[in-house]
């Protein structure tokens, strides 16, 4: 997943689903629950979800680029991401004032994009 595409929902997910409408859905990492969707955006090239982690990491929020969303189950109200809890916990710290900060988006994009610590090359998965 290139850094530029890390901010875009996968076409298999974005077809027929408005990510802006899954506020409150549970969020599941590869290895367990990480919280609930607080906000989501589908803005072209800058899509993301903000996850309220509750007590998991001391009530903080994290920004996850749209490209890490691997599936959305509307019936069960769950969003699945293809990262581990540790990868998400180690991501650049989020603050509401950074929501539209270009340098913050760049750090998050680099972290989850090609070569970053949270990068996972799904093309090699079997």
| Cβ(114)–Cβ(120) below 8 Å | no
Query: How many C-alpha atoms does 17 have within 13 Å on its Cβ side?
Result: 20
User: When comparing pLDDT for 16 and 39, which is higher?
Assistant: 39
Residues 16-25 have a mean pLDDT of: 78
Q: pLDDT-derived band of residue 1, with 50, 70 and 90 as boundaries?
A: very low
Quote the pTM value.
0.84
Each domain of the chain, given as residue ranges in start order, spans 4-114
Q: Answer whether residue 33 shows pLDDT above 60.
A: yes
CA-atom Rg of the chain in angstroms:
13
Rounded CA separation 45/6 (Å): 8
Nearest to 83 by CA among 110, 51, 118, 49: 118
Tell me the average pLDDT across 102-117.
Answer: 83
From the DSSP assignment, how many helices (H) and strands (E) are in the chain? 3, 6
- Please identify, in words, the CATH class of the domain defined by 4-114: mainly beta
Q: How far apart are CA 55 and CA 125, in angstroms?
A: 32
Pairwise CA distance, residues 122 & 106, whole Å? 21
């Amino acid at each position: 997943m290139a850094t530029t595409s890390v901010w875009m929902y996968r076409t298999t997910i974005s077809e027929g689903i408005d990510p802006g409408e899954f506020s409150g859905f549970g969020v599941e990492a590869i290895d367990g629950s990480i919280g609930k969707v607080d906000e989501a955006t589908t803005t072209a090239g800058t899509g993301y979800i903000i996850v309220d982690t509750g007590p998991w990491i001391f009530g903080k929020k994290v920004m996850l680029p749209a490209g890490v969303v691997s599936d959305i189950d509307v019936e069960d109200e769950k969003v699945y991401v293809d990262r581990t809890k540790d990868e998400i916990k180690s991501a650049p710290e989020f603050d509401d004032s950074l929501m539209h900060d270009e340098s913050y988006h760049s750090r998050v994009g680099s972290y989850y994009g090609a070569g970053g610590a949270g990068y996972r090359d799904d093309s090699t998965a079997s």
